[in-house]
Amino acid sequence: MKSMALRFTNSFACLPDNFFVRTDPEPLDDCHLIDLNNKVADFLGLNSGFCQSAYFVDYLNGQQKHPEFDPLAAVYAGHQFGHYVPQLGDGRAILLGEITTDANQTWELQSKGSGLTQFSRSGDGRAVLRSTIREYLCSTAMDGLGIPSTHALCMMASSTDVYRERVEKAALLIRIAPSFVRFGSFEYFHYQSRPDLVKILADYVIKQQYPAFFGKVNSYFLFFQEVIRSTAELIAKWQAVGFAHGVMNTDNMSILGLTLDFGPFGFLDEYNPDYICNHSDHSGRYAFKRQATIGLWNLHRLAEALCSIIPMQQAIDALADYEKIFSRHFFQLMGEKLGLKERDKEVLTIINQLLSLLESNRVDYTVFFRSLASFDQAAGSSNLLIRNQFTDRDAFDAWAEKYQRQLVKESSDNRTRALLMNLHNPKYILRNYLAQIVIEKAERGDYSVISILQKLLQNPFDEHLEHEEYAQTPPDWAKEIVISCSS
Ligand code: AMP
Ligand code: MG
């Protein structure tokens, strides 16, 4: 069971030298696997026994050089908190190579936390255990929720010290995506006044990811339209599930509309549109309610970076569709959460009134929607379990009456609707306090909760009655949790 079955290529490494710097990972001391995502291993066609072997860990850690790896750190730039930073790049991630599956899908394999690169700036190239755990779990959570995201194959711990506010242990995350190209990858070449390289990158992305567009006269425009659509739909999904990314800088925006670079992200507990999950985001630029607007702002920065290959007016026209795509998708998802079939003005009012009620009554977003499946639409039902989540019960009753009328109008029935709603309203999300429990245990060498949480997050719509405690609202101590960019 050596590396026989593994075949790696690296098409990114075939781009001109301007795109990357070849960099070997710097091995961590005593690097050992703490969790493997079998689902990810399976779709990559990797044998899970092999993934858990010392060989594989040594390859990923850079202890041994795999003959087919061609490791590199890619360069990119980006608008960080609204300000252009001309050079960023993989400061602590290394693209090891690509795996092509039997289904002919190609996945880039990256190690995150693998040491210094030419783009590390003042950083140490490492990732601490706590941030690695957060990205590992959240990648699974996103997949379970059906939200496009990079995936995490496995996570390794080590005895290497790293220095943040305190001394911590370094860890390593192995993550995959069809492509890790970011909006900022295009910005880098645009602001370097290298339209030739913008074009090469666009051609590369189109050929690899959108082969149907390749060679068409308007291929760049079609590609840009796809980025707009996938970004708008991604953010609509974040909003519907209650996810805040936290650092929507253009260097963290995937060109494929994937959730990318998990840092100080957070899922809503109480419904609070003003929620700012990133402690360092003093102005609330990336507050939950601003994500859709920021997505559009970021797409404008991408349009500027592509202005040498897409006429500005065409890009502006395409951008005009963003809000429509976002709203349509969000409306669709919220209707599904409510178990409603129609999408008319009345339903829109029901959704909007509900959201303001959830906000003013500080109701837990996930618990509420999960419980709504048990709403009894028979006239006069008091729906106590749902009603009791609100402090303003009269306001809830007024809303419930409207909702009940709509259900009857749609000839809905309690049982069918409940089954359907449970497919759209997760019971389990990665609440900050759950991640915190896992982290505190892991820092003491106890990794036992990781696999439990992985199982719940991979199937968040199932009941898992034996693990109900993981569906609970945060305990009081969770209010003290502070998540910043330092990772
Ligand atoms: P982020 O906002 O975490 O996605 O990171 C922004 C930039 O900082 C990227 O270029 C990262 O590679 C870089 N970076 C973050 N943390 C580190 C670190 N510990 N060492 C080196 N570079 C880092
Ligand atoms: Mg980043």
List 35, 251, 261, 269, catalytic entry: 251
Query: Tens digits of per-residue pLDDT, 153-165?
Result: 999 999 999 999 9
pLDDT the model gives residue 480: 80
Other beta carbons less than 10 A from residue 134's beta carbon? 24
Nearest ligand by distance to the CA of 127: 1
Cβ atoms of residues 261 and 252 within 8 Å: yes
> DSSP assignment, residue 379?
T
Candidates 272, 231, 37; CA nearest to 147 is 231
Other beta carbons less than 10 A from residue 352's beta carbon? 11
282: CB partners within 8 A, 6+ apart: none
Q: How far apart are CA 9 and CA 97, in angstroms?
A: 6
DSSP string, 247-279: ---GGG-BTT--B---SS-EE-SB--TT----T
Candidates 233, 243, 355, 240; CA nearest to 295 is 233
Instruction: Report residue 261: phi and psi, to 5°.
Output: 60, 80
Other beta carbons less than 10 A from residue 152's beta carbon? 26
Cβ atoms of residues 240 and 333 within 8 Å: yes
Query: Tens digits of per-residue pLDDT, 346-357?
Result: 999 999 999 999
Q: How far apart are CA 20 and CA 204, in angstroms?
A: 14
The full set of domain ranges for the chain reads 8-180, 340-421
Other beta carbons less than 10 A from residue 220's beta carbon? 22
For 461, counting Cβ atoms within 10 Å of its Cβ (0-12 exposed, 13-18 middle, 19+ buried), the class is middle
Ramachandran class of 350: left when φ > 0, alpha when ψ lies in -120 to 50, beta otherwise: alpha
For 159, counting Cβ atoms within 10 Å of its Cβ (0-12 exposed, 13-18 middle, 19+ buried), the class is exposed
Assess whether 251 carries a catalytic annotation: yes
Counting atoms of ligand 1 from 1, which one is nearest the CA of 126? 19
Low-confidence stretches of the chain (pLDDT < 50) are 1-4
Q: How far is CA 99 from CA 10, 175, 252, in A?
A: 8, 12, 23
DSSP string, 10-42: -SGGGS-GGGEEE----PPTT-EEEEE-HHHHH
416: CB partners within 8 A, 6+ apart: none
Q: How far apart are CA 373 and CA 107, in angstroms?
A: 38
Residue nearest to atom 7 of ligand 1 (CA): 88
381: CB partners within 8 A, 6+ apart: 404
143: CB partners within 8 A, 6+ apart: 39, 149, 151, 458
Q: Where are the beta strands (DSSP E) in 352-437?
A: none
Q: How far apart are CA 341 and CA 287, in angstroms?
A: 30
Q: Beta partners for 171?
A: 127, 157
Write out residues with Cβ below 6 Å of ligand 1: 88-92, 119-120, 123-126, 247, 252, 261, 263
Residue nearest to atom 8 of ligand 1 (CA): 91
Nearest ligand by distance to the CA of 254: 2
Nearest ligand by distance to the CA of 85: 1
Q: How far apart are CA 40 and CA 38, in angstroms?
A: 5
Residue nearest to atom 14 of ligand 1 (CA): 91
pLDDT the model gives residue 486: 72
Q: Beta partners for 481?
A: none
Counting atoms of ligand 1 from 1, which one is nearest the CA of 88? 10
**How far, in Å, is the centroid of ligand 1 from the Cα of 276?**
20
Residue nearest to atom 16 of ligand 1 (CA): 123
Other beta carbons less than 10 A from residue 197's beta carbon? 19
**How far, in Å, is the centroid of ligand 1 from the Cα of 139?**
18
Q: Report the C-alpha dihedral over residues 440, 444, 445, 448, rounded to 10 degrees.
A: -40
pLDDT the model gives residue 3: 43
199 Cα distance to chain centroid: 27
* Total-model pTM: 0.97
Q: How far apart are CA 226 and CA 256, in angstroms?
A: 8
